[in-house]
Amino acid sequence: MNNATVRYRDFVLLGLFAAIILIMAFTPLGFIPLPFIKMTIIHIPVILGALLLGPKKGAALGFLFGLTSLLSNTMTPAITSFTFTPFYPLPGTDQGTWLSLIVCFLPRILVGVVPYYVYIGLQKLFRAKKEGNLGALAVAGVAGAMTNTIGVMGLIFLLFRDAYAAAKAVEPGAVLGIILGIVGFNGVIEAIGAGILVGAVGKVLFRFREKSTR
């Protein structure tokens, strides 16, 4: 397969992953209902895109993920939407802050970067001769999901602790416990789900790409 064909294939894949992110972001397809929570899976196409297309295109998909979050929190805000959009006021004020853009975009962009390097490192560690090692894919999926959860919740704690406490009607000292609870419960469940989905789907996609290059 020549370079022009590879570029065209990757461009098509990039568009496909972007379309999946948009569909997931603005429909219920981005969530899997579980007995206690709705597990977010919007980050899955970002992770898969990073693994198949590299960190630059992965970062672009992560940016799109962040953009959908910005739009969603601006158009249909919740009480803590000020952490994701500067167009929603902080509690007790009449204006938002640009710091919300850091929370909204930085972790999501990293979701398109971190899994790629985790995967490459594990491929070398496992001395895998072929791309698409199941263990490496699964761990990369876990790393991507935790990058999103820890990144978002960690930045909320660092940048919006007092405002978050006011929105939740709790003392500022209680915010750390809430953050750790979300990371330890929602984050772990979503990480396990990402590991399973990225491992299973990624294995198929790498096999398909291998056949398409012959």
**pTM: predicted TM-score of the whole model, two decimal places:** 0.93
Q: What is the mean pLDDT of residues 82-86?
A: 95
Domains located in the chain, CATH noted: 3-66+108-212 (1.10.1760.20)
CA distance 120 to 102: 27
pLDDT digits (tens, 9 = 90+) for 136-190: 999 999 999 999 999 999 999 999 999 999 999 999 999 999 999 999 999 999 9
Main-chain dihedrals φ then ψ at residue 84, nearest 5 degrees: -120, -15
Alpha carbon of residue 35 to chain centroid: 22
**Better pLDDT: 116 or 38:** 116
pLDDT digits (tens, 9 = 90+) for 26-55: 998 887 766 655 678 999 999 999 999 999
Main-chain dihedrals φ then ψ at residue 113, nearest 5 degrees: -120, -50
Q: ∠ at Cα 69 (44, 42), nearest 5°?
A: 15
Q: What is the mean pLDDT of residues 98-122?
A: 97
pLDDT digits (tens, 9 = 90+) for 8-23: 888 999 999 999 999 9
